[in-house]
Amino acid sequence: MKITTAGESHGKGIFAVIEGLPSGVELDIETINFELSRRQSGFGRGERQRIERDKVEIFSGVRNRKTTASPLVLFIKNLDYENAKGYMSPEDCDEEIEKLTKPRPGHADLAGIQKFSLKDARNVAERASARETCAHVAAGSVARMLLSSLGVYVTGYVRSVGDVADAGEYSFGEIEKKRTSSLCMMDEGKEAQAIKLIEQVKEEGDTLGGVLEIRVKGLKSGFGSCMTAAEKLDAQLAFAVMGVQAIKGVEIGLGFSDAAKKGSEAQDAIYFEEGKYRRKSNHAGGIEGGMSNGEEIVLRAAMKPLPSLGKGLPSVDIETGEAAISQRVRSDVCAVTACEVVLESVVCEVILSAVLSRLGGDTAEEVRTRYGELQ
């Protein structure tokens, strides 16, 4: 399965093209739209979310609510294009409007200007924007539908916002039932502290990041491979998660804390009970040797504070070469809730791709039958 996204933040819209889906996958557009609305939610979001009302439109690859096995094309319209077409139109437009000549530290601005020999960062900023993630949420929702029919489920929550951290450990079921809508956290007390911190940081013209945890339940063993680096499931997950805007670190299972343990403390002992291999711990986070081992996949990602600050940061005006404050553009103060939804989505994409790679199948029914035959 291959997924390609296209579109700019203030262009006409965002596309996702999915190749390699089997036929007969039942799609529910309202479910996709629900996930898109989740991506726009969360305390700390900016003005853009009051403009956009993301809804998916299917251009091809589906007939009568079922996939046809041809490339599936999804489209999310940018309502803000009406305000930006004067400088973003694919036809004639005025590139002098809304120029970005004072690059933002931490963003793609300056590196993109240098790489593509640009006079301002607009072309780079439009594509590097996290607006692109709505395509992955739409595509990941499609992947989630087929995975759910196999008994494979994905969820997640926000473990920390800034320095407000939740050290609790929660089961998959607890996360599904208890996570909040405002910050996608589990501990209401910690969430109240986080909201207070976001309000404080907003007044200061600053931003916040956090740590997100994603879980995968029901994936059987043997997906991914130890034979090549490219086939390793943990490598594929890390690649996809690191491809999400603002993510600066990924760990699976114990992750970085593993480095401080003895080998005897870090492994998951193997038992054979009631005709099945079992583990009584899950330090590996569900993946050993690049392959799923049947336990829950546990993945955490670190999201950096967003680089578009209300107060700006020291920079240089590329037109004059003089010191300047980076350009202030409309942005979120904290987007951890949205990021959690995006990470669930890209994880769904990777897991389904691994399933289809191993099992093949021209139809959804073939995939379900083959998955059901696995031990």
SS3 330: coil
pLDDT for the residue numbered 53: 82
pLDDT for the residue numbered 362: 97
> Which of 81, 75, 104 minimizes the C-alpha distance to 9?
81
pLDDT digits (tens, 9 = 90+) for 305-332: 998 887 889 999 999 999 999 987 777 8
SS3 206: coil
Q: What percent of the chain has pLDDT over 70?
A: 98
> Which of 360, 340, 364, 285 minimizes the C-alpha distance to 160?
340
Ordered by start, the domain boundaries in the chain are 2-373
- Report the distance separating Cα 331 and Cα 308, nearest Å: 6
pLDDT for the residue numbered 375: 81
pLDDT for the residue numbered 235: 98
CATH class, 2-373 region? alpha beta
pLDDT digits (tens, 9 = 90+) for 362-372: 999 999 999 99
- The answer to whether 291 and 225 are in contact (CB under 8 A) is yes
pLDDT for the residue numbered 370: 98
pLDDT band at 335 (very low <50, low <70, confident <90, very high): very high
- Report the distance separating Cα 330 and Cα 24, nearest Å: 42
pLDDT for the residue numbered 47: 61
Pairing of strands 56-60, 72-77: antiparallel
Dihedrals phi, psi of 96, to nearest 5 degrees:
-80, -15
- The answer to whether 347 and 241 are in contact (CB under 8 A) is yes
- Report the distance separating Cα 69 and Cα 96, nearest Å: 44
Least confident of 67-81, 220-234, 256-270, 318-332: 318-332
State pTM to two decimals. 0.95
Q: Which residues pair with 17 in a beta bridge?
A: 4, 73
pLDDT for the residue numbered 246: 96
Contact partners, residue 357, CB within 8 Å, separation at least 6: 1
pLDDT for the residue numbered 180: 76
pLDDT digits (tens, 9 = 90+) for 207-243: 999 999 999 999 999 999 999 999 999 999 999 999 9
pLDDT digits (tens, 9 = 90+) for 12-65: 999 999 999 999 999 999 999 999 999 998 888 766 556 668 999 999 999 999
pLDDT for the residue numbered 150: 98
- Report the distance separating Cα 314 and Cα 323, nearest Å: 7
- Quickly tell me which residue has 């499931």 as its tokens: 233
| Tokens, residue 305 | 């504070």
